[in-house]
Amino acid sequence: MAIIMVRINRYLKYIIFSVIFTNSVLFSDIANAANAEEKNISGARDYVTRVSEDILEIVNDVNISEQEKENYLSKLFDAHVDTGWMGQFILGKYNRTITDAQRNEYIPLYHEYLKRSYIPKFKLYSGENYNIIRAKDKGRDNFLVKVAIVSDKANSDVNVDYRLNYKDGKGFVIRDIVGEGVSLIVTQRSDFGAMIKKKGIEFFIKKLSEKVESMGSSTITDDDSSKKDKIAEAAG
Amino acid sequence: MFVSSIDDALARKVENKAYEQENVEPDYVAIIPPVVVDEEEYEDDYGSDISDSDPLESVNRIMYDFNDVVDRYLLAPVARGYRSVVPEYGRDRIGDALNNLTSPVSFVNNILQGDVKGTATVFWRFVINSTIGIGGLHDIATDFGLERDDADFGQTMGVYGLESGPYIVLPLLGPTTVRDSLGDIFDVIYDPTASANTAFVVTHRVVDIVDSRENILDFTDDIEKNSFDPYVSIRSSYLQNRQKEIDSAYK
């Protein structure tokens, strides 16, 4: 069992690759139209390449602070991770019984929850390369792109799959990441489902809201960041 | 696109609060359109709810809680200490050496699975890493293109079509299935390199456990922090990954 979890652990570092970076959210549609890949296998590969390169550019940039990096990555996340769909997949059968009001509350919370879970992980990144192995057309506008993360150390590659969906007029969005066979949304479906089954949807949404708050903000304002830098400078 | 709809949702909440004061029913427009998630789309890949099958759940949770206490107060602190005391280079060397020691078992299981290529790969990995790689300390074979792909007896039984049996959590050993735990016993009994030297065996076990625990520290910390029900998250991850290993062994 430990071997299995080792591989999952290494995949966790690379889940940052799911945080997509383009321009700010307001311009994302324009940016996407300009860069939009085609709805086919090579388009899917190009999309993952573009996205990965953008992320790496941010993460590897030595001239910006960690907080700025988190801010950029946050905007990417907003633009390209299809949390509206993912959140509802994760509800499983409860997606049929949830009310509109609850859904309107839950989806933004889920969006924040996922973002705050994974953006801080970019700190774990340490120079690995990646290879896009293959892309598949799964039908119904869904695509699967298989990526191997190559680590500097001579360990075997970590296999990460990206499930994409193509939205007409917008381009690709990400709907799931699968690391070493472990799907993010399937795992979360089990996790959330266990609590909803025991305590109900209202209780779950309340807990989700508390958890999101306890995770802290994924972005801070400029004032805060300049204060932090000043304190850091003063501390030497 | 999405952020603006979050702002709308907040704005609407404010508006609706005003309505509530006037005893007017708020008009909830579905800002987030309900999506019919067609799960059949994903059944080929996600299968049925293999990640949720747990007939022994009540017993498993008790065992999980026990393991959790041992882990929290003994194993995890030791693993953290190991991480802070031994530099990454050193930990990698120890890790590679431990992996190398599992080669004989993997060799036997590759043969049993009829995996000719896998058998040859394991054999040459062991030879290269033990010699040029100085007693397994350096995993040089991977640089030669010989990827590591362990085979254990539980996997072998899976390839032969044996059902995995229910998910169980063993004391201290953690998550497994009935089939896989029997498989582990088989691997221990029939390990070609079983040693009579007790000191070596014990040391090996201890180092192996601490190394394994250190490897998954980030994973378990993430589960602790983000998961609502860590027991379920671990079960789901374990069963999905195990399924993938079986599927890839089939090929």
Predicted pLDDT at B50 = 56
Put simply, the answer to whether B148 touches A156 (Cβ < 8 Å) is yes
3-state secondary structure of A94: helix
3-state secondary structure of A137: strand
Nearest CB to A28: which of B1, B5, B213?
A: B1
Predicted pLDDT at B3 = 45
3-state secondary structure of A128: coil
Comparing CA positions, the residue from B115, B123, B125 lying closest to residue B147 is B125
Put simply, the answer to whether A194 touches B229 (Cβ < 8 Å) is yes
Count of positions (residues) in chain A: 236
Inter-residue contact A178 to A163 (CB < 8 Å): yes
Inter-residue contact A121 to A12 (CB < 8 Å): yes
Which positions ≥6 away from B70 have C-beta within 8 Å? B172
With a cut of 0.90, is the ipTM above it? no
Comparing CA positions, the residue from A24, A121, A15, A124 lying closest to residue A71 is A24
Comparing CA positions, the residue from B147, B89, B139 lying closest to residue B120 is B147
Alpha helices, DSSP H only, in B22-87?
Answer: 40-46, 57-70, 76-85
As a whole number of Å, the end-to-end CA separation of chain A is 45
Comparing CA positions, the residue from A233, A227, A236 lying closest to residue A67 is A227
pTM: 0.76
Comparing CA positions, the residue from A178, A165, A183, A38 lying closest to residue B41 is A165
Task: Show residues of chain A in contact with B245, CB under 8 Å.
Answer: 4, 181
Calculate mean pLDDT across residues B82-93.
91
- Percent of chain A past pLDDT 90, that is, above it, reads 38
On average, the pLDDT of chain B sits at 81
Give the minimum alpha-carbon distance from B35 to chain A in angstroms, rounded to a whole number: 7
Nearest CB to A25: which of B3, B39, B140?
A: B3
- Segment A151-210, tens digit of pLDDT: 655 466 788 899 999 988 889 999 999 988 899 999 999 999 999 999 999 999 999 999
Task: Show residues of chain A in contact with B213, CB under 8 Å.
Answer: 2
A vs B: CB pairs below 8 A: 167
Put simply, the answer to whether B2 touches A25 (Cβ < 8 Å) is yes
* Least confidently predicted of A209-213, B59-63, B148-152: B148-152
Mutation site, A7, A104, A111, interface B, largest B CB count within 10 A: A104
Alpha helices, DSSP H only, in chain A?
Answer: 2-13, 28-35, 41-60, 66-80, 83-91, 100-118, 184-199, 201-215, 222-235
Which positions ≥6 away from A27 have C-beta within 8 Å? none
Q: How confident is the model at residue A4 (pLDDT cuts 50, 70, 90)?
A: low
Give the minimum alpha-carbon distance from B240 to chain A in angstroms, rounded to a whole number: 5
Count of positions (residues) in chain B: 251
Which is more confident, B84 or B53? B84
The nearest alpha carbon in chain B to A104 belongs to B32
Comparing CA positions, the residue from B128, B56, B121, B98 lying closest to residue B214 is B98
Predicted pLDDT at A220 = 42
Task: Show residues of chain B in contact with A100, CB under 8 Å.
Answer: 28, 30, 34
Inter-residue contact B237 to A187 (CB < 8 Å): yes
Cβ atoms within 10 A of the Cβ of B74, count? Answer: 11
On average, the pLDDT of chain A sits at 79
Comparing CA positions, the residue from A180, A145, A186 lying closest to residue B216 is A180
- Percent of chain B past pLDDT 90, that is, above it, reads 31
- CA-to-CA distance for A178 and B52, rounded, in angstroms? 17
The nearest alpha carbon in chain A to B140 belongs to A154
Nearest CB to B150: which of A3, A85, A100?
A: A3
Cβ atoms within 10 A of the Cβ of A197, count? Answer: 12
Comparing CA positions, the residue from B233, B63, B38, B48 lying closest to residue A193 is B233
The nearest alpha carbon in chain B to A153 belongs to B92
- CA-to-CA distance for B241 and A54, rounded, in angstroms? 29
The nearest alpha carbon in chain B to A2 belongs to B212
- Segment A47-88, tens digit of pLDDT: 999 988 888 888 888 888 888 888 888 988 998 999 999 999
